[in-house]
Amino acid sequence: MQEGKMYQRILVAVDDSKTSRRALDYALAKAHDNGAQLRVVHVIDIPTPYVADVDPTPFIEAMRTLGDSIREDAVKRMKEANVKGDVEIREILPLGEDIPHQIIAASEAFDADVIVVGTHGRRGFRRLALGSVAENCARRATRPVILIPHAAAALQGDGDAVPPPASLSETTATAWPCI
């Protein structure tokens, strides 16, 4: 890393949630402030067909279409924020690795200085049943992880896309570094 620059390679994991948009806002601001390169990663989890004779192809294609939409939005937002970077779409085959594994693998392949991921704030049974991608990333990663809490979305409005803050200091209060 260059002297005076905290991060030069930032990876942010995104899906189609409000919290994910806030994580991207944070990563865009951090990349802009540091002159860093940004890698946006979206992971498509290909489902295992649970019912015989059901073709999962339409569902898989819908997930890929959503991935394309997420890619287009991220590229547009990087251009608007004057941040250099790219978007990677990864797919997990049925009974393959999980989403946190793919995010961490992407961060290693990119040689990211930090991983940024939103956390949805599930508690109790929902968290137990669904698990937490963000929590698993933070536990398994070998590099710093910054979690953007679900509350950050509520603090900043209804979840519509907003331009990245003018400086990182505007978002720092809503980020939880997990190093």
32-90 pLDDT tens trace: 999 999 999 999 988 776 666 778 788 889 999 999 999 999 999 999 999 999 999 99
What is the C-alpha separation between 85 and 66, in angstroms, rounded? 20
Contact 14, 148 (CB under 8 A): no
What pLDDT shows up at residue 114? 97
Q: Tokens 């295992």 identify what position?
A: 48
The pTM score is 0.77
Contact 62, 47 (CB under 8 A): no
What pLDDT shows up at residue 106? 97
Contact 118, 134 (CB under 8 A): yes
